[in-house]
Amino acid sequence: MDKTIGIFGGGQLGRMMAQAALPLNIQCTFFEANTDCPSEILGPVFSTKAENGLQQFINSADVFSLEFENTPLSDVDVLTKSKTLHPPRQALAIAQHRLSEKALFDELDIPVAPYKAVNSLDSLKNAVTVLGLPIVLKTATGGYDGKGQFVLRSEDQIDQAWMELGPAGELVAESFVTFSREVSIIAVRGQNGDVKTWPLAENHHHHGILSHSIVPAPNSADLQPVAQDYITRLLNHLNYIGVLTLELFVTSHGLLANEMAPRVHNSGHWSIEGAVCSQFENHVRAVAGLPLGSTEVVRPTVMVNIIGQYPKTEDVLALEGVHLHLYDKTEREGRKIGHITLMPNDSTKLTTLCRQLAKILPNPLSLSEDMTI
């Protein structure tokens, strides 16, 4: 098949989509502020700063997708006058606004934590009264990897929380969720309505950034069909094409939805080696109108992010059952610059392998000597 997919964004997600597209004879182009980006080696990059950059990008491809949910809707509106974007604009707009997202979850009977809209100091005080403390105050738009959030634990923090986040505009206050763990489910919907779902990933974070994911999530047999039902409701309601991710909290009352991401997701990087067909290949297949591939797991897997500083390549590759992915990004504190997939032939060795890897990584993550998988 000879087709070109244009991708809004040229970071590591765009890079991995393009890598999955190449064996299918599908080329990719990119629209990115920084033309010196991880995806530049895989196709033409059109600058968002160039006067005619958007139109050049639109002319460069047959069909379009994205790697980042904060893609400007104004650019999408120009694009969709003449070309098609997958996923649909509606999904993107909803994912960019937390209150719209929660309203959609409510409409589809997908449980969420109690919440209130906040647009003034008085409405924040009212939210504290109605929801109780602690609450998590978030910007309605923007924010990722823990940014744009304030955990309000006592009434004497109300003014501080408002000073920090109030200038951002509309906010949402959520009841603090007591949960045992965080999981995510990733699914893909084809142009014929076919839906396929990968197993739940159990996600661990370090300073608000995803540290590692375990797949399949341990003790998740009862959770899988529920999560699958929720994400399928979203996909069908939105007439969605491509990969969608739903992040969830595991609580004593069942699964609560946190947020959705209308794109391939960090917690699905394991699928490149760990599934029959990865999230990246299936996304490309869906966008290009091709049949979807199997989401079956090859064997249990742990995906570990490389954050801030690179380990020695030779040290990582000396470990058994390891796949290393580097994104060609400069080192910077808190920046995702690569990931490592652990999938030994004997899955009972996963815990040992994680402990060995923890000794190699320059920055401490939530991998530790006492972890058990």
- Residues annotated in a binding site: 98, 138, 143-149, 174-177, 182, 205, 258-259
Q: What angle do CA 325, 331, 332 make, to 5 degrees?
A: 125
Task: Give how far the C-alpha of residue 78 lies from the chain's centroid of Cα atoms, to the nearest Å.
Answer: 25
Backbone φ/ψ region at 250: left (φ over 0), alpha (ψ -120 to 50), beta: beta
- Binding region for ATP: 98, 138, 143-149, 174-177, 182, 205, 258-259
Of the candidates 10, 144, 5, 4, the one whose C-alpha atom is nearest the C-alpha of residue 67 is: 10
Cα–Cα distance between 263 and 144 in angstroms, integer? Answer: 14
CB 316 within 8 A of CB 340: yes
Q: Is the peptide bond before 88 cis (omega within 30 degrees of 0)?
A: no
Phi, psi angle pair for 264, to nearest 5°: -65, 155
Q: Is the peptide bond before 134 cis (omega within 30 degrees of 0)?
A: yes
CB 273 within 8 A of CB 267: no
